[in-house]
Amino acid sequence: MLKGKAAIITGSTSGIGLGIARKLAAAGADIMLNGFGDATEIEAVRQAIETDFGVKALYSPADMGKPDQIAAMVANAEQAFGAVDILVNNAGIQHTALVENFPAERWETIIAINLSAVFYGTQAVLPGMKARNWGRIINIASAHGLVASAQKAAYVAAKHGVVGLTKVVALETAESGITCNAICPGWVLTPLVQKQIDALAARENISLAEAQVKLLSEKQPSRQFTTPDQLGDLAVFLCSEAAGNIKGASLPVDGGWTAQ
Ligand code: NAD
């Protein structure tokens, strides 16, 4: 379905981004991976995409906190693939603290990576998408783009910002073949969430298994984690022609979290 299309997935060296990258590749898209990590592991992930799915896979080490590096990553992908048809803005980080204790540096960095990078990436891909009259921009927001939790000021502010920015981009491209939507996952068992499970287990002196159940029970009525594969399949659907008139939506995949 996506043969001949090229996709950038930010923050795709692990977790949700990697799950989405592999599903887009399985659908035939060439892939530009991005994110941090061990160089040998990243190269293995890149090669596996090429051999498993017979597509081209490249890797960009661009830091999503640096606007000039985001623009360079998009320019490199356009040069290598001839176009960027799909942009998945996924890179994100977390920090938990009460507002009065929240380190200013963490606030600035989370806003830069989780929100401003979505703006700069979108700005860089739109001219090419408009020229070809086709594009898919998929922003990985969060249940925290729709509702809040204590101790997550920067993350919740950034993700609510992403949901708003998604609507603006959808309106500005409404009459074109471009769509911009947000996916709002609940808990997904990735390194980002594992850190929160570890902290909960340590704080309450309970086992990791008990902490997992507690974390889910507090927010996610299904008591099941959403999986990167489920999010990848939704991203592929959003790239389909069937989804061509879904514009500016924020789609929860959260086991009922935001239905409460
Ligand atoms: P993760 O920690 O497994 O992966 C984050 C990815 O972002 C990694 O590839 C990392 O290298 C990359 N990254 C971090 N800082 C970067 C930077 N400055 N520049 C480029 N890449 C950078 O996390 P995840 O859980 O897969 O999260 C992915 C996205 O999904 C995030 O935006 C997160 O907010 C969102 N999300 C996650 C959950 C969840 O439960 N895990 C729920 C809702 C939303």
pLDDT band at 2 (very low <50, low <70, confident <90, very high): very high
pLDDT at 72: 98
Beta partners for 8? 32, 87
Q: Are residues 204 and 251 in the same domain?
A: no
| Position 55 in a domain | yes
What tens digit of pLDDT does each residue of 149-191 get?
Answer: 999 999 999 999 999 999 999 999 999 999 999 999 999 999 8
Question: What's the average model confidence in pLDDT over 34-57?
Answer: 98
Domain of residue 214: give its range: 189-225
Q: Are residues 28 and 157 in the same domain?
A: yes
pLDDT at 106: 98
Interval between CA 175 and ligand 1 midpoint (Å): 31
Q: Are residues 35 and 48 in the same domain?
A: yes
Q: Are residues 28 and 57 in the same domain?
A: yes
Question: What does the block give as tokens for 128?
Answer: 């090419």
pLDDT surpassing 90 at residue 50: yes
Mutate to test the pocket of ligand 1, among 16, 31, 142, 222 (most ligand atoms within 8 A of CB): 16
| Position 78 in a domain | yes
pLDDT surpassing 90 at residue 3: yes
| Position 1 in a domain | no
Please name the amino acid found at residue 76: N
Q: Are residues 125 and 245 in the same domain?
A: yes
**Do 103 and 161 contact (CB within 8 A), yes or no?**
no
pLDDT surpassing 90 at residue 70: yes
Q: Are residues 212 and 231 in the same domain?
A: no
| Position 211 in a domain | yes
Q: What is the pTM of this model?
A: 0.98
pLDDT surpassing 90 at residue 87: yes
| Position 97 in a domain | yes
Count: domains in the chain: 2
Q: Which atom of ligand 1 is least distant from the CA of 185?
A: 43
| Position 199 in a domain | yes
Interval between CA 114 and ligand 1 midpoint (Å): 9
| Alpha carbon separation from 173 to 52, 83, 91 (Å, rounded) | 34, 18, 23
Q: Are residues 195 and 246 in the same domain?
A: no
Q: Are residues 144 and 208 in the same domain?
A: no
Q: Are residues 87 and 133 in the same domain?
A: yes
d(CA 224, CA 109): 30
Q: Which residues are catalytic?
A: 155
**Do 180 and 132 contact (CB within 8 A), yes or no?**
no
| Position 84 in a domain | yes
d(CA 4, CA 11): 23
pLDDT at 175: 98
Contacting residues for 124 by C-beta, under 8 A, at least 6 apart: 70, 71, 74, 75
Q: Is the CB of 226 under 6 A from ligand 1?
A: no
pLDDT at 69: 98
| 3-class secondary structure per residue, the chain | CCCCCEEEECCCCCHHHHHHHHHHHHCCCEEEEECCCCHHHHHHHHHHHHHHHCCCEEEECCCCCCHHHHHHHHHHHHHHHCCCCEEEECCCCCCCECHHHCCHHHHHHHHHHHHHHHHHHHHHHHHHHHHHCCEEEEEECCHHHCCCCCCEHHHHHHHHHHHHHHHHHHHHCCCCCEEEEEEEECCECCHHHHHHHHHHHHHHCCCHHHHHHHHHHHHCCCCCCECHHHHHHHHHHHCCHHHCCCCCCEEEECCCHHHC
Q: Could you give phi then psi for residue 65, rounded to 5 degrees?
A: -85, 0
Q: Are residues 33 and 90 in the same domain?
A: yes
pLDDT at 192: 86
Q: Are residues 39 and 130 in the same domain?
A: yes
Tell me what the pLDDT averaged over the chain comes to: 97
Instruction: Assign residue 94 the CATH number of its domain.
Output: 3.40.50.720
Interval between CA 123 and ligand 1 midpoint (Å): 21
Q: Is the CB of 113 under 6 A from ligand 1?
A: yes
Contacting residues for 62 by C-beta, under 8 A, at least 6 apart: 34, 69, 70, 72, 73
pLDDT surpassing 90 at residue 128: yes
| Position 114 in a domain | yes
What count of other Cβ atoms lies within 10 Å of the Cβ of residue 148? 15
Q: Are residues 220 and 112 in the same domain?
A: no
